[in-house]
Structure 1
Amino acid sequence: MAVTNTFAVYELGDNDNSENYTDYVYDNKPMVCDDDGIGLRVFHAVFQPVLYSLIFLLGVAGNGLMITILLRRWRRLRITEIYLLHLALSDLMLLLTFPFDIVENAAGWLFGEFLCRLMGLVQTLNLYCGSFLLACIGFDRYLAIVHAIPSMQSRRPRTVHLTCFSLWLLCLGLSIPNAAFLSVGGNNTHTPILFCSYHLHLIHAHNWVLTKRVLDHVCFFLPLAVMSYCYTAVAVTLCNSQKSNAKQRAIRLALLVTLVFFFCWLPYNITLLITTLGDLEVIKYENCTSYDLVQPVLDVTKSIGLSHCCLNPFLYAFVGVRFRNELIQLLCQMGCSWVCLPFTRAQGHSRPSISDGGLTSSNILI
């Protein structure tokens, strides 16, 4: 017999480690489903902290190096590099929230009400902004390659900075409600552990959770659509032009950029959509086992999605010859000659990159 959900589930936090309890009616008898089983506790206590720590270390190193390289020639940044700088700042700010999540998974929220709201705002702000910046990079490549001649006059650094500033303001406006509904509280169990959760203002917090899920989907599928269209047009343009190894690498990079974004965040968005449909009783859970499976899958897929912020430097910057050469120089200046020696030997085989809109550069998409 099917199990009927008697009321909507309240999502208790971005960290997704709070316990969710849902009343069901089974053969006219109320039954409580607890989704915090042994597997979920092990994931939160062991696997998730280890994964978040690896993402944090790799992401801070990669985005930190990327920001350092770009700031060294601040006044000579190309158009795409301005977007890359903002993207790296966004990813770095997102990564700085990871230590709070790691501690919360291990011991609960220990940082007070203010940091609870601030971390929720910062995490949502940078998730949204990072996605839109990826779309902007794809659109900029579309303008530079598909419409090279007429677009050069409109693609000015001042316009790009204003675009990025507008994106930050838009995403900030979408993220501010997190500060209004997040608060520190218990998880409805006998344990005294506290969590940073969406349980302030009760039903209004629940409505915001549902709204936020819609925004999460929009901020994934809209940039994905823009990237898919722009990079497809770029690939077609390059295929129709004179073929070269540089252009073939550019096409592969465009495909890789889109697929990585797609595969990192699509599982989370699908699971989140299923969770929302279950909360709204559009779909019915047959038993508690079906319901208990949703939360672990949501946690795992979100961790996979968050790993994307440590991949961006390698996808957008370090694959370019110019960035690689500057990275080698920076590492040598930092005394890491043993790291950059193999790359220095191979540096003579690399081809230099040229202007932002050229079609013969090995750095064509960067």
Structure 2
Amino acid sequence: HNWNSSGTCSDKHFHIVEQVLGLYVNSIICVLGFVGNCLVIVTYAFYKKTKSMTDVFLFNVAVADLLFVVSLPLIVYNEMSAWPMGPAACKLLRGSYSVNLYSGMLLLACISADRYVAIVKARRSFKLRSLPHSRLICAIVWAAAILLSVPTFYFYSCYEPSHVANVFMLDPLSEDNLTSWSPEYVCEFKFSDSGTAWRAKVAIPSTQLAVGFFLQLFIMIFCYTSIVFTLLRAKNYQRHKAVRVVLAVVVVFIGCHLPYNVTLLYDTASKFQHKSCKESDALQVAKTVTQTVAYLHCCLNPVLYVFIGAKFRNHFRRIIQDLWCLGKRYVAPRRFSRVTSDTYLSARRSVDGSSDNGSSFTM
């Protein structure tokens, strides 16, 4: 076994993988997720009004994903180094991270159910898919996400681990070590007794598996299987093209989240079994890699659920055109002032006057 001076495993491979993924891959995920979800929010705020239940769900998914990628750098920093802020910030960061995770998953389940009602139960969809209903459902989703995150808010705390002094103060009698060493705090789970620790370390990941993955997977498979059969019965090229979109949504979700949840399930089932240092290191590496793959889904949500629709792509082009026109107006105001003003106003009239009664998630 690879043991360090404190008598614990060193997990050297895990720390190497954590540094590489934390610095490079997660940085790319944060940038792409931030840009993509900001474009969705800006489009709904200034260009496209939320006219359908799908639009309301997509807007809330973008908000949840945006909050997720904003908190991700702090989560990665906390996992790679000591926690520099106090206990309140620790609870807020970890709790909000959990809320965004649950809300994003539950909202994707709502989108699947909404697509099922709109296509398979088209005759009843007008009564069920109203804006007041969609706003009520979103409020329930966010409330459920907060309720499911209560254990995270409660048990996460900022404290100094008992083994830190053993790691950094190799010689307790040396005055140099005593003066140079300063306490380092972590933002992790903290329990009052072993019984509470056992129950929480099983219940929290089990809830995440049940609500954050298996519930969403079951709803998605049921709804999209019914949608595919309904679309295949329709002899229409656009409908058959929409089948590929549905399959892409399912494949991407399973590809991103299945590896991490299988690893999490194994880790939870073997939580209190003795593992060698090599097995512990391999499990930590697997959790880190598969978790990073799961994070990719927040970047792909805008592409799969929004930009794949023709109407939303048109709004995105108008955003680029308006930014370009505004940029030219400020860079060269004398030369381009009249042209850019006319272009910008005409673009805005085309947006405001466009008829967009359908959903942005075009099937």
Is contact 1:250-1:363 (8 Å) kept?
A: no
Q: Distance in 2 between matches of 1:332 and 1:108?
A: 45
Residue 222 of structure 1 corresponds to which residue in structure 2? 215
Q: 1:166 aligns with which of 128, 140, 144?
A: 140
Q: Which residue of 2 aligns with 1:364?
A: 362
Asked if 1:196 is matched to 2:187, the reply is: yes
Does residue 243 in structure 1 map to residue 241 in structure 2? no
Change (3 A) 1:73 1:240: same
CA contact (8 A) 2:105 2:213 kept: yes
Structure 1 counterpart of 2:262: 270
User: Partners of 2:230 and 2:70 in 1: how far apart?
Assistant: 39
Report the counterpart of residue 338 of structure 2 in structure 1: none
The aligned residue for residue 213 of structure 1 is 205
Alignment equivalent of 2:310, drawn from 315, 321, 330: 321
Contact 2:14 2:282 in 1 (8 A): no
Q: For 1:59 and 1:111, locate their aligned partners in 2 and report how far apart those are by CA, in whole Å.
A: 25
Distance 2:128 2:154 in 1: 39
Distance 2:296 2:252 in 1: 10
Name the aligned partner's letter for residue 226 of structure 1.
Answer: I
Of 183-192 and 301-310, more deviation after overlay is shown by 183-192
C-alpha distance in 2, partners of 1:254/1:337? 37
Structure showing greater radius of gyration is 2
Question: What SS class does the counterpart of residue 222 from structure 1 fall into?
Answer: helix
The residue correspondences of 1:1-366 to structure 2 (distance < 5 A) are 34=9, 36-73=10-47, 75-187=49-161, 188-189=163-164, 190-191=167-168, 192-203=183-194, 204-218=196-210, 219-244=212-237, 246-281=238-273, 285=275, 287-335=276-324, 355-356=357-358, 364-365=362-363
Q: 1:300 to 1:186 in 2, by over 3 A?
A: farther
Between the two proteins, the alignment pairs up a number of residues equal to: 315
Identity of aligned residues (%): 30
Question: For 1:319 and 1:151, how far apart are their aligned partners in 2?
Answer: 23
TM normalised by structure 1 equals: 0.80
Structure 1 counterpart of 2:362, which letter?
Answer: I
1:10 corresponds to which residue?
Answer: none
- Superposed CA deviations along residues 241-267 of structure 1, whole A, max 9, x for unmatched, are 1221x2122111111111111111111
Q: Which runs of 5+ in 2 are unaligned?
A: 169-182, 328-353
TM value normalised by structure 2: 0.80
In structure 1, distance between residues paired with 2:75 and 2:124 = 47
- Structure 1 partner of 2:342: none
Deviates more, 1:37-46 or 1:140-149: 37-46
Read off the aligned partner of 2:246 and give its amino acid letter. Answer: A
Is residue 54–residue 361 contact of structure 2 (8 Å, CA) maintained in 1? no
Distance in 1, matches of 2:136 and 2:208, equals 24
The gaps in structure 1 that reach 5 residues or longer are 4-20, 22-30, 339-351
Deviations 1:175-224 (A, max 9, x none): 01212111123442324543210024243244222111111111201111
